[in-house]
Amino acid sequence: MGIFVMCIPALAAADSQIPVQPSMEQLLAREAFLKAQTDSASVACVVKTSVSSTRVGELFMLWWGSYGSDGIGWSPTGAYTIVTSKKGTYEYKFTFRAQDGISATCRTTVSVS
């Protein structure tokens, strides 16, 4: 019993290292699943960015999640850190294909000033 009581602080410290919340990619995969179910589709995808507009040289995140794809072209979920060196509007477009040949395309844009 004494050993167990002495280990409690170590267990509490270890608990803070374990992520409790799902990652953004996991949440987007769930959203894609719901989209596929709602649309009666065999494949669906969702893509999001951390910002809708930014400035040249500033970092932002791009995340995606899909349901029903076999990873041809893109992994089913993922993330990139992006920084741009030129002003403009950038479109990020992902196409996911299922083994049955059906595909889904999702996109988002970011304006850079």
The CATH number of residue 103's host domain is 2.60.40.10
Is the whole model's pTM more than 0.85, yes or no? no
Over residues 68-106, the pLDDT tens digits come to 987 666 788 999 999 999 999 999 999 998 888 889 999
Strand pairing report for 59-67 and 77-83: antiparallel
Quick one: pLDDT at residue 98? 83
Please name which of 80, 108, 84 lies closest in space to residue 94, comparing C-alpha atoms: 108
Total tally of structural domains belonging to the chain: 1
Provide the residue range defining the domain that includes 70. Answer: 22-112
Is residue 8 included in any domain, yes or no? no
Could you report how far apart the first and last alpha carbons of the chain are, in Å? 63
Is residue 107 included in any domain, yes or no? yes
